[in-house]
């Protein structure tokens, strides 16, 4: 693997770590550190000016991200296979391929099979600097696998199973086969207010806003960059 590809992966891997802890509610204050180094970078001023207007990042922050994602990866895009390799490195004890697939699709908003620097920064801006509503909308989109505007039990089960598969041997106590489905049932009891078998965006947001762990994770996420 080339050195530039390795450096690019390290930048994305750092975000992958924070995002996983956010989406599973396990992000804590001790893990929130800004280790990005300020340095001169080559960039296209017009592109950065547009992204500065579209995101909540400053020009200097965009330069840092641009250096890590694009200058070190001349192609400027990450495909799904590379995304899966990133998660495989971070979770060697399990199988991260399915969760990486779902997360990749959440970033690949135009569904063209690749995540560009622009795609990545737009998603990152929401997760790090967005409003509570924007962050929860993004999370809902992750769970809404078929993008029909609803989360079904099967969709949530697929996501939760993929998280457990990714954690692998790190799960304690050892999971029973029925554990993921039991967790889905608990989540649906909280979220599916009208008991129609699906969770709408309004139900999802209302439930999450009343969950202290989720709200605390989102607040800590703002300090990453």
What residues make up the domain containing 149? 132-223
- Which two three-digit tokens encode residue 124? 């990152």
Mean pLDDT of 26-39: 40
Mean pLDDT of 56-81: 80
Residues 59 and 161 in one domain: no
Domain boundary among 129, 154, 174: 129
CA gap 216, 220 in Å, rounded: 6
42 is a domain residue? no
- In this predicted structure, the answer to whether residue 145 has a pLDDT above a threshold of 90 is yes
3 is a domain residue? yes
Q: How many domains does the chain have?
A: 2
Residues 70 and 168 in one domain: no
Write out the H or E segment, with its range, that includes residue 65.
helix 59-66
Residues 91 and 108 in one domain: yes
Residues 98 and 147 in one domain: no
Question: Do the beta carbons of residue 106 and residue 22 sit within 8 Å?
Answer: no
Each residue's pLDDT tens digit, 163-208: 888 877 665 456 677 888 998 998 899 899 999 999 999 999 999 8
- In this predicted structure, the answer to whether residue 75 has a pLDDT above a threshold of 50 is yes
40 is a domain residue? no
Sign of CA dihedral 218, 53, 8, 11: negative
pLDDT of residue 38: 34
136 is a domain residue? yes
pLDDT of residue 199: 96
- In this predicted structure, the answer to whether residue 53 has a pLDDT above a threshold of 80 is yes
CB atoms within 10 A of CB 102: 16
Mean pLDDT of 97-115: 91
**How many C-alpha atoms does 82 have within 13 Å on its Cβ side?**
21
Residues 199 and 210 in one domain: yes
Q: What is the CATH number of the domain that holds 69?
A: 1.10.238.10
- In this predicted structure, the answer to whether residue 83 has a pLDDT above a threshold of 90 is no
Look at phi and psi of residue 125 and say left if phi exceeds 0, alpha if psi is from -120 to 50, else beta.
alpha
What angle, 0 to 180 degrees and rounded to 10, lies between the N-to-C axes of helices 59-66 and 117-129? Answer: 130
- Which two three-digit tokens encode residue 188? 């649906």
pLDDT of residue 30: 43
Domain boundary among 102, 129, 156: 129
């Amino acid at each position: 693997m080339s050195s530039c590809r390795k450096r690019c992966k390290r930048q994305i891997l750092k975000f992958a770590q924070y995002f996983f802890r956010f989406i599973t509610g396990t992000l804590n204050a001790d893990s929130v550190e800004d280790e990005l180094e300020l340095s001169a970078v080559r960039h296209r001023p017009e592109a950065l000016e547009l992204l500065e207007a579209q995101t909540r990042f400053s020009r200097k922050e965009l330069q840092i991200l641009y250096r890590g994602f694009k200058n070190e990866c001349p192609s400027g895009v990450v495909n799904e296979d590379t995304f899966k390799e990133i998660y495989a490195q971070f979770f060697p004890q399990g199988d991260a391929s399915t969760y990486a697939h779902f997360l990749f699709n959440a970033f690949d908003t135009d569904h063209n099979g690749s995540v560009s620097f622009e795609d990545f920064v737009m998603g990152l801006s929401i997760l790090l600097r967005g409003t509570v509503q924007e962050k929860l909308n993004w999370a809902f989109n992750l769970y809404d696998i078929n993008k029909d505007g609803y989360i079904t039990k099967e969709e949530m089960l697929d996501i939760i199973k993929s998280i457990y598969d990714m954690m692998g041997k790190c799960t304690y106590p050892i999971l029973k086969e029925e554990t993921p489905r039991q967790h889905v049932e608990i989540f649906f009891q909280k979220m599916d207010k009208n008991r129609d078998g699906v969770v709408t965006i309004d139900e999802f947001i209302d439930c999450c806003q009343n969950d202290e762990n989720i709200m605390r994770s989102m607040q800590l996420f703002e300090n990453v960059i």
